[in-house]
Structure 1
Amino acid sequence: MKAAALTSFGGPEVLTLTEVATPQAGPGQLRVRVRSAGVNHFDTAIREGWAPPTVDNSFPVVPGNEYAGVVDQLGEGVTGHSVGDEVFGYCTLGAYAEYVVVSAEQITAKPESLPWDIAGGFSANGVGAHMCLREMKVGPGDTVLIHAAAGALGTFAVQLALAWGASTVIGTASEANHDYLRSMGAVPVTYGDGLVERVRALAPDGVDAALDIAGDDALRASVELVKDKNRIRTMISDELATELDVPAVTPKRSNAQLAELAELHTQGKLRLHIRQALPLAEAAEAHRSIETGHGRGKIVLLVDSAP
């Protein structure tokens, strides 16, 4: 099968279209013929040589941790799914390819109203935002601060907070993205010096919870603004979080989270802006684009138009 794969670690140029072995579904697994795959900073870290402790990153390495496609093979013991099912889901590696093999726990049904390009970029950031906001106990009446709110993860976090009843969501972003944040129901605020004072002016009664997707300065600002550190999370600054006694995010992914995201999309409460949709052969360009930072919405790879 064709895949955007690595045979060495390095810059975006090491990610090339190549032929790799087509995976087969084993017991308890199913195979998805991929229509689209999301591009994430997790993938760029893999490309540079990082890997979680339990991941084998021996070459060739196929990045990609989210996808949408059609089930085309069932392993022994798989129930509740059929060949031909349209699904979207998550994995750790392997989604930048024509086929990916996963467990049934890693997928959910794709609603008809969810376009293929958006579905391919829906699960990783959506589940990430879901995990963080649940741990932060975001709920009715809260004032929530989301740093880097115009990016893909921020886009999900803003909308989930509002869907779960937050009264006010303040989002940091460059001024070019302020109208985008307003369109989602957030109150925009500009990055940079004086951020704490600007946020306090917008939230005179205080900020209840904050999610950092921007880095150390944003995490420090969050600690100044939020009384209870248990209601702060970062997806960027793990070392500083330890220093500041901010709890780490506990990875807990499931198809129940995917199903909730799908239902919120069907209800019109969750949408995703596609910044770029590139063919699989241009995966390196997708990595160059995501690494520029300050982008609006999601970058996806279009893998196959007719599985």
Structure 2
Amino acid sequence: MTGPTNKVVQLSRYGGPENLRTAEIETPAAGRGEVRIRVLASSLNYTEVLIRKHLYPQTAGLKPPFVMGYDVVGDVDQVGEGVTGFAFGDRVADMTVVGSNATYRLLKAKNLTRVPLGVDPAEAATLILSWMTAYQLLHRSAKVKKGDRVLVHGAGGAVGQAALVLGRLAGVEMWGGAFGKHAALIRELGATPVDYDKEDFTRVLPGGFDVVCDGIGEDGYRRSFAALKPGGLLIAIGYSAGVQAKQGMFSILSGIARLYLWRFLPGGKRARFYSINAMRVRHPEWFREDLEHLFRLLESGEIRPRVAERISFDKVADMHRRLEAGGLEGKVVLCPDLPAAA
């Protein structure tokens, strides 16, 4: 390995935010088929709370210490042998699951998506997990069409906000389920708020919804099924719900398995599980195509993701605490070029 010192955020052992530490390691050189990037932005996602707590199935086999960081935007600063189509200075993005809370990192060239130079890297980073999840669950999984009526649970969160905006752009009638404190934000995003404290979402729309997007999964998704119209579709979203952080791995996996068994229910109601990682494995071309589309929407100003705060390395552990507590109405983004807080 060679190159400048590489600052990273490592998880020393599974557990609380106190197990996140800033370390300095050597910077690896790009191998065949790889590029090295200088990281400009890497967003912090609630999913990383689950990774840190050893509750995320995809990373359950990793043994600490390892570097955190689910997504990344950066500039190519070294090109490995056999790489074509990318050159020094190109701005690129990737979804990495781990390893991107760093100053430098290696990426496989075949997985990269180009980022327009005119967009804010921090805003671009927010699209990679949350907005891609929202876009694909609406357009690839649910295949919504103009005039459909869709309920999104957890609408105050990053995926929920993105789904409301993208649904409105597609001509879909959107309802956002959240606690009352998020009602103004949901209206601002063009959707009808459903207040969990005051309303029974199963009775909000007579006849039921065409699609319910549920990243919470309480009560085994039964109430979300009850909110569907005959022939409606439930999309269960990944592992991102706060309630799942209180469950064990077995409970999470059991819930997913149950959805696969519930292919068709009385009244023609259907259930489908969406995982951004599983869909990327099956359809890698969709991932690049959809992310490029989102970057174009960002470049044109048709979407404007909310960046709650840009932070330096020394703030990552504190931000994990805030993520776990909930209530942020935007993404926190690690920007390695920012100086440490005083």
- TM-score scaled by length of structure 1: 0.89
Please state whether the residue corresponding to 1:141 is helix, strand or coil: coil
Matched to 1:82, the amino acid is A
Deviation at 1:113, TM superposition (A): 4.1
The answer for the alignment partner of 2:273 in structure 1 is 248
Provide closer, same or farther for how the CA distance between residues 152 and 54 of structure 1 changes in structure 2, counting only shifts above 3 A. closer
**Partners of 1:64 and 1:96 within 8 A in 2:** yes
Alignment length (residue pairs): 302
Unaligned 5+ segments in structure 1 are none
* Structure 2: tracts of 5 or more residues without a match: 1-5, 245-251, 263-270, 281-286
Q: Distance in 2 between matches of 1:83 and 1:91?
A: 21
Cα distance in 2 for partners of 1:23, 1:121 equals 26
Q: Which residue of 2 aligns with 1:224?
A: 226
Distance 2:199 2:161 in 1: 23
Say if 1:56 and 1:98 are closer, same or farther in 2 by CA, change over 3 A: farther
Rounded to whole Å, the distance in 2 between the matches of 1:274 and 1:54 is: 26
1:153 aligns with 2:180: no
User: Counterpart in 1 of 2:122?
Assistant: 117
Deviation at 1:93, TM superposition (A): 0.9
The C-alpha deviation readout for 1:101-157, integer Å capped at 9, x for no partner, is: 122343322224421221222201122222322211112111111111121111211
Displaced runs of 4 or more, over 6 A: none
TM-score by length of 2: 0.80
Query: Could you tell me which residue of structure 1 aligns to residue 113 of structure 2?
Result: 108
* Number of the residue aligned with 1:208: 210
1:270 to 299, 303, 311: 303
How far apart are 1:34 and its partner, in Å? 0.6
Q: Structure 1 pair 96/290, CA: closer, same or farther in 2 (3 Å)?
A: same
Q: Shift in Å at residue 304 of structure 1?
A: 1.8
What residue is the counterpart of 2:329 in the other structure?
Answer: 296
Of residues 5, 8, 23, the one that matches 1:3 is 8
Counterparts of 1:8-87 in structure 2 under 5 Å?
A: 8-50=13-55, 52=57, 57-87=62-92
Contact 2:94–2:128 (8 Å) recurs in 1: yes
Contact 2:225–2:234 at 8 Å: present in 1 too? no
Shift in CA distance, 218/127, structure 1 to aligned 2, threshold 3 Å = farther
How far apart, CA to CA, are the structure 1 residues paired with 2:219 and 2:304? 28
Q: Select the structure with the greater relative contact order (CA < 8 A; seq sep ≥ 6).
A: 1
Q: After superposition, give the CA deviation of every residue in 1:61-96 in whole Å (9 maximum; x if it has no partner).
A: 101111111111112222221110122221121111
Q: Secondary structure at the match of 2:274?
A: coil
Matched, 1:234 2:237: yes
Closer, same or farther: CA 219–267 of 1 in aligned 2, 3 Å: farther
Letter in 2 for 1:228: G
> Does the 8 Å CA contact 2:176/2:191 hold for their aligned counterparts?
yes
How many Å separate the matches in 2 of 1:302 and 1:207?
Answer: 40
C-alpha distance in 1 between matches for 2:110 and 2:85: 11
Q: Is the 8 A contact 1:132 1:233 kept in 2?
A: no
Contact 2:10 2:68 in 1 (8 A): yes
- Aligned partner of 1:233: which letter? A
Structure-2 residue corresponding to 1:132? 137
Residue in structure 2 matched with residue 92 of structure 1 by the alignment: 97
Find the counterpart in structure 1 of residue 186 from structure 2: 181
The alpha-carbon deviation at position 51 of structure 1 amounts to 5.3
Q: Once the 2 structures are TM-superposed, how far is the Cα of residue 217 of structure 1 from its aligned partner?
A: 4.9
After superposition, the Cα gap between the structure-2 partners of 1:197 and 1:10, relative to the gap in structure 1 and judged at 3 Å, is closer
Q: CA deviation at 1:218?
A: 8.9
RMSD: 2.4
CA distance in 2, matches of 1:260, 1:14: 37
Structure 2 Cα separation of the partners of residues 145 and 51 of structure 1: 25
